[in-house]
Amino acid sequence: MTDTPTDHPVIVWFRRDLRLSDNPALSEAVKTGKPVIAVYVMETDVARELGGASKWWLHHSLTKLSHALDAIGSKLILRRGKAGEILDDIINQSAADMVMWNRRYAGDARERDAAIKSTLKDRDLTVKSYRANLLSEPWSVETKSGGYYKVFTPYWRAAKDFIDVSDPIPAPTSVNHYGGGIKTDTLDDWTLLPTKPDWGEKLAPHWSIGPEGAHKALESFLDGPVENYADDRNRPDYEDGTSRLSPHLANGEISPREIWHACKDNEYTSRKFLTEIGWREFSYVLLFHHPDLASANYKDDFDKFPWESNQDALKAWQHGKTGYPFVDAGMRQLWQTGWQHNRVRMVTASFLIKHLLIDWREGEKWFHDTLVDADPASNAASWQWVAGSGADASPYFRIFNPFTQGEKFDPNGDYVRKYVPEIAKLPKKYIHRPWEAPQNVLDYAGVKLGKTYPKPIVEHKPARERALAAYKESRS
């Protein structure tokens, strides 16, 4: 008796697409009628490991994906190692003749995928890849001269002719599961959760991980907050001023097409919010054309910049002890929740780069390790934007004032009081500038500058002048 085409299983290789809905690789695999082998590989031959916060999120997201697959009659296989070798092992065990995955765009990942695809095709296997986590491919939106856009506004204007806003693909309700015995690891084998210390416990209350949590967050955001998003997105003291969808997008628990589809009934109100989806797309264009975006200046004239090496200042910034309350609140929010408000990200990044003259790459590394929404494109592109070294970047000489930014966007000091409780009793007049408070006010608030709360590690005006002088020097 000879095998029929459907006797050979199809492998679906999950990556940053940890969902069942709007998952083209999974959908197309199910359509074949073949038995499906769903696999996630913790790759060991990567250029850059996931950060600690991302590993914590991944553990819980894979748990949700495993349960979702169980519910439709499938099973998630977990394996650690080199993806090519693991796929080869599963193919040899199962006689699979098809492999499907959704595309990724970081340089080393693209290279691995291309090598694996070539090797499998040489063995007469069918290999198919799909666009799942972007609205358009990074290479599809070209300028009239055939290049790529380096400025966001014209890019987004042109991209709207290329983005895919068709209806999302429904999640499969059942799967023809491959019943053969395929070896699998357990999540506990991978030790993704932090233990010494277990700072994951403090992150957990702030998030509902998985596709269900993603769609609930989107629904909640579109049920009201989106109406005032253009203004409220700048207010870190507003709990619902932003969608907080970024970690769900970064891990592929929801697709940008699902978000766009949910907004289509009120596209005018949602346009500013959807523009932020556009920024994410633009960041992937930059990453595609500059695979070293997280490690090399996009503009190489910044290679001459006279950065300073100051470990004490770097640690003060990382731990929220700079003496500038708005900056410190942001860095503590990051450590306590795995996330930082976007307005505050610009201010904290500017402070590190321009007030402290510390290389933007040090900040990018810290965010990569501590953000639950650490994204290879968005994180690097955003840090380069603030530094002035990136595409369509804010000019270097735009230096955020860390206390006037707080007074403008946290006018009552609620954000600072939440994350910097040691100065919470200061009146709003001084909450962003405690060094200006009279002694009797400090005494009443229980604040001892230099003891219970640090004095500013640098003075704003001299630091600004130093940054401008350094920039001028790098251009001479």
Alpha helices in 95-210 (DSSP H): 107-122, 152-159, 187-190, 200-203
395's CB contacts (< 8 A; 6+ apart) are 388
Q: % helix / strand / coil in the chain, to the nearest 5?
A: 50, 5, 40
Residue 11: phi, psi to the nearest 5?
-95, 130
Q: Which amino acid is at 263?
A: C
Q: What angle do helix axes 267-289 and 378-387 make, rounded to 10 degrees?
A: 90
Two tokens, residue 101:
């995955």
End-to-end CA distance of the chain: 79
Burial bucket for residue 179 (CB in 10 Å: 0-12, 13-18, 19+): exposed
Per the structure block, which two tokens stand in for 271?
Answer: 């346009």
How many CB atoms are located within 10 Å of the residue 352 CB? 27
With beta carbons less than 8 A apart as the criterion, state whether 261 and 215 touch.
no
Q: Where are the beta strands (DSSP E) in 175-331?
A: none
Nearest to 92 by CA among 125, 62, 64, 45: 125
User: What are the beta bridge partners of residue 127?
Assistant: 99
Residues with catalytic roles? 276, 279, 307, 342, 360, 383
Provide the pairing of β-strand 126-130 with 36-43: unpaired
Tokens of 166: 């068709």
CB 355 within 8 A of CB 402: yes
Burial letters for 236-267: b for 16+ Cβ neighbours within 10 Å, e otherwise?
A: bbbeebbbbbbbbbbbbbbbbbbbbebbeeee
The structure tokens 């934007």 sit at: 385
Task: Copy the structure tokens of residue 84.
Answer: 């090519």
Contact 375, 200 (CB under 8 A): no
Sheet holding 36-43, edge to edge: 76-81, 36-43, 10-14, 98-102, 126-130
Give the H or E element holding residue 363. helix 360-370
Tell which residue, 133, 101, 371, has the closest CA to residue 247. 371
Q: How far apart are CA 293 and CA 106, in angstroms?
A: 9
